[in-house]
Amino acid sequence: MLMKATVSGSDVKTGGIALHNLQKRYGNAIAVDDVSLSISPGEFISLLGPSGSGKTTSLMMIAGFETPDSGQILLDGKDITRLPPHRRELGVIFQNYALFPHMTVAENVAYPLRMRRMAKVEVEKRVGHILDQVHLGALASRYPHQMSGGQQQRVAIARALVFDPPVLLLDEPLGALDKKLREHLRNEIKTLHKEVGKTMIYVTHDQDEALSMSDRVAVMHEGRIRQVSAPKDIYRRPADLFVAGFVGEVNLVPVKLKSGTVHGPASENLPAPEWQEADRDATLCVRPEHLHLKTSPPGSSGGLQGRISGMTFVGDATIFQFRSETGLELLSKVLNVLPETMPGVGDPCVASWAANDATILTE
């Protein structure tokens, strides 16, 4: 009896990706500089960073459309660094995704399968299934120009998923859409991720998108990964000043670390996490929603002395501008939920925060 060859463990594609010291130059400019990252099977990870930080270049090296100058890319432990794109079998949605305008939705989605010479019956079955998954079953015979931007986007996602790749690479897939639609599709992609269980590597420069969708976020700047953490930790425990400033609003207070305590610009004691290392200058970071302003008689201690210098109503919250006696400008964000009396412009205040809500950075 003929035994069907069993697939050995190393051939099973579960979608684990490892990047080792990836480097890519264009002329003298380094686009990607020593990027290492380990992505678990089924993980949703975002590459977040400003324009030109190397996100697309990193993704294109994973996809095989760019070749690294040095470094290694592993898919489920197998070196794919020099494998052509079609042999990597990864689903890709490009930054400027393009559907074929002369093909219907179903034909667009079937395209990757036809390229793989799959039997017609099987093609129809798979296309029907994936279109249902992205809720486009009813629009299969439309052409791209007869659809909204969000619907076209879902066709692009279906086309990238139809051949059942272990990994889906998405480059700013919602970039061209308006805010409402972006938020809607954000949730749809997240739901789809849960349903299909694929590894997803999602490139974006939109911090809300990265924080709300990802298991982990890798923040990139000038070709390097500055921090890889769960969204909560990226926000609450930024690893450096770039991450602190790029993700959300942040107040920065220049401080001196001395004998385990943190001294502000007027040598006042400031609340901060415990500090054990050597004495030095540093920056204390605290988010506006963690910075509390208390009207107080002059001379009271426990924070920065100063005055309210302005306030802005932003709907759900009020943003207070605070100017310390030493000239620091800080922001305090207060949700407009309580009918409490708010301080007014010109009022003397103490700006303070809980020790655990501050981060000390020493770069």
Ligand X SMILES: Nc1ncnc2c1ncn2[C@@H]1O[C@H](COP(=O)(O)OP(=O)(O)OP(=O)(O)O)[C@@H](O)[C@H]1O
Q: Which one of Mg ion, ligand X, none is in contact with 54 (Cβ closer than 5 to 8 A by kind)?
A: ligand X
Scan residues 18-37 and list those touching ligand X (CB under 6 A). Answer: 26, 29, 31
In the complex with Mg ion, which residue's Cβ is closer, 14 or 95?
Answer: 95
CB of 216 to ligand X, least distance (A): 18
CB of 52 to ligand X, least distance (A): 4
Q: Does 225 bind ligand X (CB under 6 A)?
A: no
Q: Which stretch binds ligand X (CB under 6 A): 47-55, 72-80, 243-251, 273-281?
A: 47-55
Q: Please, which residues bridge with residue 169 across strands?
A: 92, 201
Q: Say how far apart CA 99 and CA 77 lie, in whole Å.
A: 33
Count of CB atoms situated within 10 Å of the CB of 353:
22
For 51-119, give the secondary structure using H, E and C: CCCCHHHHHHHHHCCCCCCEEEEEECCEECCCCCHHHHCCEEECCCCCCCCCCCHHHHHHHHHHHCCCC
Tell me, what DSSP letter sits at residue 354? -
Q: Which stretch binds ligand X (CB under 6 A): 7-15, 44-52, 84-92, 132-140?
A: 44-52
Q: Which stretch binds Mg ion (CB under 5 A): 51-59, 68-76, 100-108, 253-261?
A: 51-59
Q: Say how far apart CA 299 and CA 283 lie, in whole Å.
A: 24
Kindly tell me which residue out of 53, 133, 207, 359 binds ligand X, with binding defined by CB under 6 A: 53
Kindly tell me which residue out of 56, 151, 204, 332 binds Mg ion, with binding defined by CB under 5 A: 56
Q: Say how far apart CA 321 and CA 291 lie, in whole Å.
A: 11
232's tokens: 């909560």
Kindly tell me which residue out of 88, 193, 205, 226 binds ligand X, with binding defined by CB under 6 A: 205
Q: Which stretch binds Mg ion (CB under 5 A): 48-56, 72-80, 160-168, 318-326?
A: 48-56
In the complex with Mg ion, which residue's Cβ is closer, 28 or 51?
Answer: 51
DSSP string, 165-211: -SEEEEESTTTTS-HHHHHHHHHHHHHHHHHH--EEEEEES-HHHHH
In the complex with ligand X, which residue's Cβ is closer, 51 or 341?
Answer: 51
Q: Please, which residues bridge with residue 221 across strands?
A: 224
Q: Report the run of H or E that residue 133 belongs to, with start and end.
A: helix 120-133
Q: Which stretch binds ligand X (CB under 6 A): 55-63, 148-156, 256-264, 311-319?
A: 55-63
Q: Does 46 bind ligand X (CB under 6 A)?
A: no
Residue tagged 């120009």 (tokens): 145
Q: Which of 136, 137, 172, 152 is nearest to 100 (CA)?
A: 152
Q: Which one of Mg ion, ligand X, none is in contact with 31 (Cβ closer than 5 to 8 A by kind)?
A: ligand X
In the complex with ligand X, which residue's Cβ is closer, 112 or 173?
Answer: 173
Kindly tell me which residue out of 56, 104, 133, 324 binds ligand X, with binding defined by CB under 6 A: 56
Kindly tell me which residue out of 8, 51, 96, 341 binds ligand X, with binding defined by CB under 6 A: 51
Tell me, what DSSP letter sits at residue 149? H
In the complex with ligand X, which residue's Cβ is closer, 55 or 198?
Answer: 55
Q: Does 55 bind ligand X (CB under 6 A)?
A: yes
Q: Report the run of H or E that residue 278 belongs to, with start and end.
A: none
Scan residues 84-113 and list those touching ligand X (CB under 6 A). Answer: 95
Q: Which of 245, 264, 246, 242 is nearest to 255 (CA)?
A: 264
C-alpha 230: how far from chain center? 10
CB of 54 to ligand X, least distance (A): 4
The count of residues interacting with Mg ion (CB under 5 A) is 1
CB of 49 to ligand X, least distance (A): 5
Q: Which of 252, 277, 152, 132 is nearest to 195 (CA)?
A: 132
In the complex with ligand X, which residue's Cβ is closer, 29 or 335?
Answer: 29
Q: What residues line the site for Mg ion (CB under 5 A)?
A: 56
Q: What residues line the site for ligand X (CB under 6 A)?
A: 26, 29, 31, 49, 51-57, 95, 205
